[in-house]
Amino acid sequence: MVIFASTKKEIISNLADILESPIEYLKGVGPLRGDTLRKELGIFTFRDLLEHYPLRYIDKTQVSTISQIDFQTDYIQIKGRFIFSDIVGEKRARRLVARFRDNTGIIELVWFQGISWVQKIINLDDEFLVYGKVSFFNGQAQISHPEMEAVKDRQQTGKSYLEPIYPTTEKLKAKNMNARQIGKLTYTLLSLLQQKDIPENIPENILQELRLMPRFTAFGAIHFPKDMDEQKAALRRLKFEEFFLAQVRLNITRIGRSRHSQGIKFDKVGSIFKEFYEHHLPFSLTNAQKRVLKEIRQDTARGHQMNRLLQGDVGSGKTIVALLSMLIAVDNGYQCCMMAPTEILAAQHYKSLQELMKDMPGVNIALLTGSVKTRERRDILEKTAAGEIQILTGTHALIEDKVVFKNLGLAIVDEQHRFGVAQRARLWKKNSVPPHILVMTATPIPRTLAMTAYGDLDYSVMDELPPGRQPITTVHRYETQRMLVMDFLREEIHKGRQVYIIYPLIEESEKLDYENLMNGYELVKTYFPEDKYSISMVHGRQTPELKETNMQRFVNGDTQIMVSTTVIEVGVNVPNASVMVIESTEKFGLSQLHQLRGRVGRGSEKSYCILMTGKQLGKDARERIKIMCATNDGFMIAEKDLELRGPGDIEGTRQSGELNFKLVSLVADRNILEAAKEYAETLISEDEKLEKPENAPLKNYLMRRGKTNWSKIS
Ligand code: ADP
Ligand code: MG
């Protein structure tokens, strides 16, 4: 015991940072509990415990009576005695039921787990305080799994009257480590810590301007607040800190790279650009297009590499922005490439670019995909290497090592979320000085999410559609209305339009989805017999060649109906298609529905999106359908998607490690996020190396806590 104590002291005093101490060295923990804390809650060190925040607080001063309980009652604390407890039910229904009485009435308390442990605590002699959430079962009020404590055992853990309740697990409870016990450990820890152990990391001026609580105070107050106002202030401070530090790190990377990377300098806007812009632009640009073009122009004129993400809703006109950017590169004597995720899309880009540039024969445009024949491929590769082709469009075939450019100045990646980071990095190596990179995506990402997931890229948004677009009318129809829906499709087809009918994704293992699609296909054929109508079908089990052929027939207008899974989701442009029917809509996420819907409404005709479902619908599915019917705005939909699903599932950000915040919520804390981002950006742009004396605390903190790549800025 003595040996243990001295070893413990030695270890702690040898650590520069007491918060790095292993958790078992905290008084009251020891090896066994330490093990459980590590396994159950991931608490390895003192710091982990300090950052294990309360779920809620019990206001010890508030004791209610049982007679006060009504259907509005949420959490409640009552004081009284047990009059009875017994185990009832068997197997899964086995539970401990107790009756608890105060001067005004009786309430039932129930436990489904940890029964033997609870039984040991319950005794009929002592007065108890019981705290928990009231629920109603057959009209009877009850509290399941309440917190409880004998009044005689209650000791003040601090000055505070609010008692923190921590997240815990059944296993921990079984080891006598319930929410309150964890509170006691936290209290022990806080009484060990001094101001120097929790140094300030936010510059004084920001603290002042935003009236943020000092860091040391905040940690005390989040665990043991004197009232809920103090708790709120502490929480606000710690949330700000969490996001501010993340933003500072991202900005150091982003600003550092943008200032110090070597990059190609596009000195001028030359004659090709001017000629095209003044005489061959088929429409005038939207303000959003002009703004983004200007951002790109400025970014590529500085002599540093551009790494920019361009987000624009489906149909916002990214292609023309891509072309104009490429013409700037061409004017400066450089080559460009534009990469798309599928052959169909690459071919479409090629076609649009050729069409746009048809009166400007001086610029050579070529298409390179996996299906280009050997002879032609050799020719393209030679001309690319010689610099004779200025704009090369294609699929990922473009990043193969065989593709050598004479002087690649700008690489554009369309529909970015289908390309991995590693693949993008290969583009960088296509030139001795890395080319500028423009990543375009039509998957709207909520701003708060983009700030974190892509915070190391510069970021442009096109939040405006070209004028004259007719909004797509979206409606919800039930299976029972199928006949009417099919009649409507027939009308549209007879007007010369084309229609999509989309089924949920087919994956290798999803036998059921496959059957649904096949049944659906048969059903469509009964409404649209093959002697009068022609139908294309595309799904993931087909060979790429077959997919391509079927798709191409629809694109060319040879077929009127496209029955498909979501493989057609990205970027396909068939302006003559005016109706999209989505089957089993409840199986799709919001962003995906929006992407799918973006396939129609691309021409001058009025377009429709019909969301089909059965009668039985969950609450979330209903909500998604309601949103889809209410708006066409991709950014609004993305925000809703984030609210409904949380950040983990949003397309394109799944692999991002930057989204794991302990306190801050990307949905609810928008104001804090915006403020933290702005302060971090200003701070780093004014003092990139954190050399100003007022930024020393921040710098020290970042150096101590690692994660920041300082080699980049020193
Ligand atoms: P996306 O951003 O989805 O890639 P596209 O670049 O394919 O959008 O553009 C969609 C359609 O809008 C195209 O037919 C394009 O010619 C047209 N378009 C783009 N910009 C404008 C504009 N400023 N005015 C009118 N039509 C435009
Ligand atoms: Mg596009």
Q: How many CB atoms lie within 10 A of CB 174?
A: 14
DSSP three-state, residue 387: coil
Ligand 1 atom nearest residue 319's Cα: 6
Cα separation of 49 and 402, whole Å?
54
Cα separation of 399 and 266, whole Å?
23
Burial class (CB in 10 A: 0-12, 13-18, 19+), 95: middle
Which residue has 């960088």 as its token pair? 428
Which residue has 């009649």 as its token pair? 487
Residue 656: pLDDT band (50, 70, 90) is: very low
> Ligand 1: distance of its center to the CA of 464 in Å?
11
Query: Whose Cα sits closest to atom 23 in ligand 1?
Result: 285
Kindly report which listed range (252-266, 306-320, 513-527) carries the lowest average pLDDT score.
252-266
Q: Which ligand is nearest to the CA of 602?
A: 1
| Percent of all residues in the chain with a pLDDT value above 70, rounded to a whole number | 90
> Ligand 2: distance of its center to the CA of 507 in Å?
26
**Whole-number pLDDT of residue 44:** 95
Q: How many CB atoms lie within 10 A of CB 499?
A: 25
> Ligand 2: distance of its center to the CA of 467 in Å?
17
Cα separation of 403 and 530, whole Å?
45
Between helix 343-356 and helix 544-555 the angle, nearest 10°, is 40
Cα separation of 539 and 505, whole Å?
8
pLDDT over threshold 90, residue 51: yes
Of 59, 28, 24, whose CA–CA distance to 165 is shortest? 59
The CA–CA distances, whole Å, from 432 to 192, 325, 535 equal 56, 21, 49
Of 629, 699, 711, 586, whose CA–CA distance to 245 is shortest? 699
Query: Whose Cα sits closest to atom 25 in ligand 1?
Result: 466
Cα separation of 406 and 26, whole Å?
64
> Ligand 2: distance of its center to the CA of 2 in Å?
71
66-160 and 473-631 agree in CATH topology = no
Cα separation of 597 and 608, whole Å?
9
DSSP three-state, residue 498: strand
Q: How confident is the model over 595-612, as a mean pLDDT?
A: 89
Q: Which ligand is nearest to the CA of 414?
A: 2
> Ligand 2: distance of its center to the CA of 188 in Å?
59
**Whole-number pLDDT of residue 653:** 43
> Ligand 1: distance of its center to the CA of 289 in Å?
10
Ligand 1 atom nearest residue 414's Cα: 4
**Whole-number pLDDT of residue 257:** 75
- Would you say domain 66-160 falls under CATH 2.40.50.140? yes
Q: Which residue has the higher pLDDT, 62 or 693?
A: 693
Of 589, 591, 590, 559, whose CA–CA distance to 574 is shortest? 559
Q: How confident is the model over 341-365, as a mean pLDDT?
A: 90
Query: Whose Cα sits closest to atom 27 in ligand 1?
Result: 466
pLDDT over threshold 70, residue 506: no
Of 648, 651, 616, whose CA–CA distance to 637 is shortest? 651
Cβ neighbours for 461, distance < 8 A, ≥ 6 positions apart: 288, 292, 310, 311, 312
> Ligand 1: distance of its center to the CA of 461 in Å?
15
Residue 712: pLDDT band (50, 70, 90) is: very low
Residue 655: pLDDT band (50, 70, 90) is: very low
**Whole-number pLDDT of residue 651:** 45
Which residue has 């009756």 as its token pair? 99
Q: How confident is the model over 667-684, as a mean pLDDT?
A: 89
Q: Which residue has the higher pLDDT, 16 or 109?
A: 109
Burial class (CB in 10 A: 0-12, 13-18, 19+), 124: exposed
Residue 2: pLDDT band (50, 70, 90) is: very low
Cα separation of 94 and 88, whole Å?
6
Q: Mutate which of 283, 353, 440 to test ligand 1's pocket (most atoms within 8 Å of Cβ)?
A: 283
- 159-173, 225-239, 533-547: range with highest mean pLDDT: 225-239
Q: State the Rg of the chain over Cα.
A: 32
Q: What kind of architecture, by CATH, is found in domain 271-300+316-441?
A: 3-Layer(aba) Sandwich (3.40)
> Ligand 2: distance of its center to the CA of 430 in Å?
24
**Whole-number pLDDT of residue 595:** 84
**Whole-number pLDDT of residue 14:** 46
Query: Whose Cα sits closest to atom 13 in ligand 1?
Result: 317
Single-letter residue type at 529? P
Residue 67 tokens read as: 């007679």
Of 272, 249, 270, whose CA–CA distance to 365 is shortest? 272
Give the dihedral of Cα atoms 233, 239, 243, 244; nearest 10 deg.
30
Residue 290 tokens read as: 């002009």
Domain 473-631: CATH class, spelled out: alpha beta
pLDDT over threshold 70, residue 30: yes
Query: Whose Cα sits closest to atom 20 in ligand 1?
Result: 317
Q: How confident is the model over 329-346, as a mean pLDDT?
A: 91
**Whole-number pLDDT of residue 567:** 67
One-character DSSP codes across 428-465: HTTSSSPPEEEEEE-S---HHHHHHHSTTSEEEEE--P
Average pLDDT of every residue of the chain: 86
Q: Which helix (H) or strand (E) holds 12?
A: helix 2-14
Residues lining ligand 1, Cβ inside 6 A? 283, 285-286, 289, 312, 314-320, 442, 466, 573
Cα separation of 162 and 221, whole Å?
10
Q: Mutate which of 310, 311, 316, 338 to test ligand 1's pocket (most atoms within 8 Å of Cβ)?
A: 316
Q: Provide the residue ranges of all domains of the chain, joining segments of one domain with +.
A: 1-61+163-197, 66-160, 217-260+678-712, 271-300+316-441, 473-631
With the C-alpha atoms ordered 66, 70, 71, 73, is the resulting torsion angle positive or negative?
Answer: negative
